[in-house]
Amino acid sequence: MSREYPDRPFVGVGVVVWRGEEVLLIQRGKPPRVGAWSLPGGAQELGETVRETAAREVREETGIEIDVTHLIDVVDSITPDDDGRVRMQYTLVDFAAEWRSGEPVAGSDAMGAEWVHPDDLGPRNMWKETLRIIEMSAARRRETA
């Protein structure tokens, strides 16, 4: 099924990966939002749990190994065309995770990958929902510290 004008939404998984006080970001190399900074993640594959998707996508996009800790939120991303038809629709399941090993190297779906302190996110080209998810994850970390 095509990702543009699909018959049903796709399930995507995003991951807020923490290493100390820094979060892992990738620069998107494919639509939607090519060139924007985002969380590592991608589409769930048939027979895969969302937690398995989270670990696989982080590994594929950055070379990092993680431990998935908890669900942050679920985001509906619906992109209409100029005529109001649904051009793209994703149900995005966002998790938090802790870094286990590896250094970020951009994989085939990413133009870049790096650790960033949350205070330094402002000047980056980022979707507002990505910023909200990172802040939700950071707030939970502060509450449980």
Per-domain residue ranges for the chain?
A: 10-144
Q: Return the pLDDT at 30.
A: 82
> In which residue ranges of the chain is pLDDT below 50?
none
CB-side exposure of 10: number of CA atoms within 13 Å?
22
Q: Return the pLDDT at 29.
A: 85
Q: Return the pLDDT at 65.
A: 98
Q: Under CATH, domain 10-144 is a member of which superfamily?
A: Nucleoside Triphosphate Pyrophosphohydrolase (3.90.79.10)
pTM of the shown model: 0.93
Q: Return the pLDDT at 124.
A: 84
Indicate the helix (H) or strand (E) that contains 13.
strand 10-19
What is the dihedral angle through the alpha carbons of 72, 76, 79, 84, rounded to the nearest 10 degrees?
-160
Which positions ≥6 away from 91 have C-beta within 8 Å?
A: 9, 10, 11, 12, 74, 75, 76, 77
Q: Return the pLDDT at 32.
A: 74
Q: Return the pLDDT at 92.
A: 97
Q: Return the pLDDT at 122.
A: 80
